[in-house]
Amino acid sequence: MVLAALLGAGGIAQAADVSAGRSAAQAKCAQCHEADDWEGEDAASLASLIRDIVAGKVKHKGKLELSAAEVDNIAAYWGQGKK
Ligand code: HEC
């Protein structure tokens, strides 16, 4: 039921799944980051930044292990601002 509601309310970026991004961010990033850390950043630039971290090109506090889909989903979630 929750999933249906989220899917119904979604539609921001077709390819990325904001609700999956929220779960992934809460599971893997929320101990250090909050969604509103990224206010004003758009999903595309966040995605490329996170991709560079995963690839080891941008330094980060810890190594990030994310699939390409997880990167897009987290970027979509963070990129839409605080929700
Ligand atoms: C153990 C704490 C911790 C966790 C967990 C963590 N981060 Fe970070 N992250 C940091 C800190 C601290 C910084 C800022 C300091 C720095 O630049 O290294 C940062 C910076 C960033 C930046 C900005 C990098 C830049 O150069 O502008 C991004 C993007 C980011 N994290 C993404 C993520 C994502 C995505 C996750 C979850 C998959 C995550 N982080 C999980 C601690 C964490």
Q: Rounded to two decimals, what is the model's pTM?
A: 0.84
Q: Is the CB of 29 under 6 A from ligand 1?
A: yes
Q: What range defines the domain where residue 49 resides? A: 2-79
pLDDT for the residue numbered 10 = 47
- pLDDT confidence of residue 56: 96
The C-alpha R_g of the chain, in whole angstroms, comes to 12
Regarding the beta carbon of 28 and ligand 1, being less than 6 Å apart is answered: yes
Q: Is the CB of 74 under 6 A from ligand 1?
A: yes
**Structural domain count of the chain:** 1
User: Alpha carbon of 40 to those of 12, 36, 60, 70: distances in Å?
Assistant: 16, 9, 20, 20
What amino acid occupies position 78? W
Q: What is the pLDDT of residues 41-56, one digit of tens each?
A: 999 999 999 999 999 9
* Cα 25 to ligand 1 centroid, rounded to whole Å: 11
Nearest CA residue ID for atom 41, ligand 1 = 29
Regions of the chain short of the pLDDT cut 50:
5, 8-13
